[in-house]
Amino acid sequence: MVRPGELRFARWDEFDLDNGLWIIPSVRLKRRKTEKLHGRPHLVHLPHQAREILEALFVVTGRRGYAFAGSGGKNPYMSNNTLNAALRRMGYCTKTEVTAHGFRATFRTLTVELLNFPEAIAEMQLAHVVRDQNGTAYNRAEFLEQRRILMQTWANYLEDLKFDRAKASHPLLTEFSPVTLRLSAGLPAGARAQRT
């Protein structure tokens, strides 16, 4: 759940696939200049699904330095448009429906509301500053083990969605039923609710 720019410039020497960890240098994070130069790196735990994908990708781009290498000869890393272009090819509108950066908000919302992780854990995974009552003067927690569990739980949830076996559902929102189904069946308003 990193920012697209952090992903684009990912280098193979930042990945510890044996231990399931991606160590993003501070200089590449969204921070103030002094924090970029002297701050701690951001640790991203890699669930087993991500490790499998990265192992396969290493065979393709491992000699090029950048994990997500560019396909053209101009850039050694993928373009800042690559992810959104892929979404458009899948049929999504990146102006009104979804963007690559928007997946961060989806992650933040669903891990807290649906998967019941504490906000502080989700915020730390997103590399946001987690404020405490004293600003950030005393907040040095990194929640490493909790974030490892969070990332594996999130990957499992996405995999379950992919294979239509997701068990988690939002506690307040009902099952989604597009109005187009009711209209195409010629049912009056409220008919679906009465039948179920």
**Which residues lie below 8 Å from residue 15, measured CB to CB, with a gap of 6+?**
21, 22, 23, 46, 54, 67
Q: What is the CA radius of gyration of the chain?
A: 20
Catalytic residue among 89, 138, 165, 167: 138
Contact 14, 139 (CB under 8 A): no
The question of whether 45 is a catalytic residue gets the answer: no
Written in H, E and C, the secondary structure of 77-100 is CCCCCHHHHHHHHCCCCCCCCCCC
The question of whether 3 is a catalytic residue gets the answer: yes
In the structure encoding, which two tokens stand for residue 134, read together? 């004293």
Q: Quote the pLDDT of residue 186.
A: 66
The question of whether 8 is a catalytic residue gets the answer: no
Catalytic residue among 30, 38, 131, 162: 30
Q: Quote the pLDDT of residue 77.
A: 87
Domain range list for the chain: 4-195
Q: Quote the pLDDT of residue 195.
A: 46
Q: Quote the pLDDT of residue 131.
A: 59
> How does DSSP assign 7-56, residue by residue?
HHT-BGGGEETTTTEEEE-GGGSS--HHHHHHSPPEEEE--HHHHHHHHH
Q: Quote the pLDDT of residue 46.
A: 96
In the structure encoding, which two tokens stand for residue 34, read together? 């002094």
* Run means of pLDDT, 10 residues per run, the chain, 196 residues: 87 95 86 79 93 95 89 80 91 90 90 92 83 52 86 94 81 62 62 48
pTM exceeds 0.85: no
